[in-house]
Amino acid sequence: MGVREPKQRGSGAEGTGTIVIGNQEHKHPRGRISRLWRGSSINEAVRDQIKQYILEQGLKAGDALPPETQWAQDLGVNRSSVREAVKALQSLGIIEIRHGHGLYVREHNFDPILECVSYSMQFEPSTLLELAQIRTWLEIAVLPQALDKMGPGDIAALENILKTWQAKFQTDAMDNILIANPNLNIVWGMYDEMALGALAAAKAHGLVSKIAILGYDNTPDAYEAIRRGEMHATVDTAPKEMGYNLIHAIKQYVVDGEVVPKTIMSEIAMWDQTNIHNFNTDNYRYVPFEAIERQPSRQKPGAGIAGLPPAWINDRGQFVSKGREVSVAHTGQEPLPTRKAGPIKVGFTPTAMNTHYDIVIAGARAAVDELGGSKIIDLVIQAPSSQSATAEQMDIVEDWIRQGFDAIAMCTANDRAMLPIYQKAAENGIPVFLFNTPLAMPVNPYYVSNVGYDQHEAGRLIGLWLVEHFGDRTTHLAILEGLPGVHNTERLSGFKEAIEGNENIKIVFSRPADWVRDKGQAVIDRVFQIEQDRQFHRALFAPLGNHSLVQLLDVFWTAFGDFLVNHQSEQDVDFAQHAAVLEAVKAGDPGRAQQALLDYLLRMQEHLRAVVASSQRSKY
């Protein structure tokens, strides 16, 4: 049954008002809040009024509530008081805020307890051991009653869980790395390779349909995954255009003797399952020194943020942005433009070789071919062994300076460490061009031009897309970060800026995966803590028909999983012990079933005790 926007009828500060929800009108008292102010704050009084209204009207989970403006009008208070009361009720799990839709009664849950427990454990990890003991007492005490009510269908459910567990998850590589954190909805890899690693882990655990994977950059594997419906979205940072524009800028400065802008930024856009059919990896355009005309076909409401140009949605349904308007002047310490005859020797060094830089290089080579090939530009490509190998990259560039290269194009993870190299190149008359470098990064006055895109804005586009598609419901997000540094900081800050203010999107996990696919898979494997184990315990006590008991066990499980993930520990699970519990259940032997379950729970306590001790030692 559809829910109409709640409406209010009647006027005046006293008497009654009418709230219309669906096709029913509900009377509610006016002016009562004034009699509740004594001894309580306005926020508390508003909170009590909302709770009383839910009870008096017999509202159930999913029923709509009047909007904040109506509560403020009917109760004679300002909207900020209502907003504070609503946030308090949301934190208590009584109501939920669906952005763009309104306020709704929430289903009974233990989320407030979980949030409190998970938070307190960060300050007092020993609380975890007490919870583990409570869980042991509870499960052992209740198990005989559950066995009394267990029928053939319940036993079959336990058998199926263990069968799936053994068939899919009991491998040499993943005996103890199984699926947990049942509340996880989204994984964002801050580079496509990490996102693809997360996808591999999700596929291995059968979670592709439950967890949306978001990426970052322009890699063919990511786009193919989106086409297959396995990934949800990625942001196109125009790497081929970056390489193409970079070579044209170098040619214009070194061969043609013309000044180029200090920053040359490409337009960025989101690709997802609704528009991926329009993508063509051969697409790139040459617009390095022209302002891209901004004619949004559909302005995205609320997308504009102070100091930034608004993102928009184009005719292909993509979030699009040119990034921040940045005015960077030449310092006078850059080498001057020259008019050299070809071929000029150009050194090209990325932070490391990966799929993204392969595409940048493809764009650079396309530009070289267009401009006359090696007769005009001799492109020399060399990269350090890893993203963090700054010293290797310094040696590469210093060797090019000694050889007298005509220009150097580079992307570095450590701009400050490279400062003496930039200065040395400038003193030798060799212009340095940056690429794929955050606008906030360059601290040196010696580079000629920064060719790329706004990395802060790219992160913000991912965030805007997430709010658009998942912001109206509770969403738990895991972020796979890159190596610590300004690239990581810029992308993450833009993303957080976009989701700020959305109460539904919660970052439950954020950890570096070093920009590589294997690390992305390993990190997500640690996040996925043993869903099969959790499902086994749920099924074990399901015959009691006590939904609250099952939810309470979920609180224990999720709290344990969060703590172990935060401390980079894998859960200690023994398939054989679970099988022993099931065998005792099938044999109708409650005592043996209790003992097998107790053995497992005590082993779990020992593992938790070791993790807690380790975490406490690390503080000192």
State pLDDT tens for residues 174-228.
223 234 455 678 989 888 888 888 888 778 777 788 889 999 987 888 989 999 9
Query: Would the pLDDT of 41 be above 50?
Result: yes
- 562 or 362, higher pLDDT: 362
The CATH label, of 3.30.70, 3.30.1540, 1.10.3210, 3.40.50, for the domain at 184-237+457-527 is 3.40.50
pTM of the complete model: 0.56
pLDDT recorded at residue 169: 40
The tokens for 390 are 């700054």
Mean pLDDT of the 571-589 span = 78
Q: Which of 123-132, 196-205, 385-394 has the lowest mean pLDDT?
A: 123-132
Average the pLDDT over 391-402 and give the result.
Answer: 94
pLDDT at residue 259 above 70? yes
Task: Supply the pLDDT for residue 311.
Answer: 66
Question: To which residue do tokens 């992305």 refer?
Answer: 520
Beta pairing partners, 378: 345
| Number of Cβ within a 10 Å radius of residue 316 | 14
- Exposure of 170 in the CB half-sphere (CA atoms within 13 A): 15
Q: From CA 255, how far away is CA 249, in angstroms rounded?
A: 10
The total of other beta-carbon atoms located within 10 Å of residue 46's CB is 26
End-to-end, the C-alpha distance of the chain in Å comes to: 58
Please give the Cα distance from 334 to 319 (Å, whole number): 36
pLDDT at 474: 87
Is the model's pLDDT at 236 over the cut of 80? yes
Scored b (16 or more CB within 10 A) or e, 67-98 reads bbebbbbbbebeeebbbbbbebbbeebbbbbe
Instruction: Give the fold, CATH level 3, of 7-105.
Output: Arc Repressor Mutant, subunit A (1.10.10)
pLDDT at 9: 39
* Domain at 114-176+530-617, CATH class: mainly alpha
Predicted confidence (pLDDT) at residue 580 exceeds the cutoff of 70 = yes
Hey, CA dihedral for 65, 68, 73, 74, is it positive or negative?
positive
Helix ranges (H only) for 481-530 are 486-499, 517-527
Domain ranges in the chain? 7-105, 114-176+530-617, 184-237+457-527, 239-451
Over its C-alpha atoms, the chain yields an Rg (Å, rounded) of 30
Beta bridge partners of 513: none
Tell me the pLDDT band of 73, cut-offs 50, 70 and 90. confident
Task: Say what the pLDDT of residue 520 is.
Answer: 52
Other beta carbons within 10 angstroms of residue 20's beta carbon come to: 15
User: From the centroid of its chain, how far is CA 336?
Assistant: 44
pLDDT class of 372 with cuts at 50, 70, 90: very high
CA separation for the pair 283, 449 (Å, rounded):
24
Distance CA 579, CA 596 (A): 9
CA gap 610, 14 in Å, rounded: 62
**pLDDT interval class at 121 (50, 70, 90):** low
Cα–Cα dist 557/564, whole Å: 11
Q: Report, as an integer, the average pLDDT of 253-274.
A: 90
Q: What was the pLDDT predicted at 3?
A: 31
**What pLDDT, on the 0 to 100 scale, is given for residue 277?**
83
pLDDT over 70 for what percent of the chain?
72
- SS3 of 126, please? helix
Mean pLDDT, rounded, for 474-500: 85
Give the pLDDT score at 140: 92
Place of tokens 């990934």: 231
Identify which has the larger pLDDT, 235 or 126: 235
**Segment 301-320 mean pLDDT:** 57
What's the mean pLDDT when you consider all of the chain?
Answer: 77
- Side-chain half-sphere exposure of 526, counting CA atoms within 13 A: 22
- Angle among Cα 563, 180, 225 to the nearest 5 degrees reads 125
Q: In sequence order, what are the beta bridge partners of 184?
A: 476
360, 243 contact by CB (below 8 A): yes
Cα–Cα nearest to 481, from 185, 190, 186, 184: 190
Quick one: 113 exposed, middle or buried, by C-beta within 10 A (0-12, 13-18, 19+)?
Answer: middle
- Residues 6 or more apart in contact with residue 462 via CB below 8 angstroms: 188, 214, 216, 233, 235, 270, 494, 495, 498
Is 541's pLDDT higher than 80? yes
Q: Among 437, 444, 439, 396, which Cα is nearest to 420's?
A: 444
pLDDT confidence bin for 562, thresholds 50/70/90: low
Buried b (16+ CB within 10 A) or exposed e, 538-565: bbbbbbbeeeebbbbbbbbbbbbbbbbb
The pLDDT of 142-166, averaged and rounded, is 86
Mind listing the pLDDT tens digit for each residue in 280-310?
655 544 333 333 333 333 333 333 333 345 5
In this model, does residue 270 exceed pLDDT 50?
yes
Contact criterion met (CB below 8 Å) for 9 and 26: no
- Fold identical between 184-237+457-527 and 239-451? yes
The residues that bridge with 27 in the sheet, in sequence order, are: 18
- The predicted pLDDT at position 116 comes to 63
Check if CATH label 3.40.50.2300 holds for domain 239-451. yes
Question: How far is Cα 110 from Cα 511, in angstroms, rounded to an integer?
Answer: 26
Identify the band that residue 13 occupies on the pLDDT scale cut at 50, 70 and 90: very low
Q: What is the pLDDT of residue 231?
A: 94
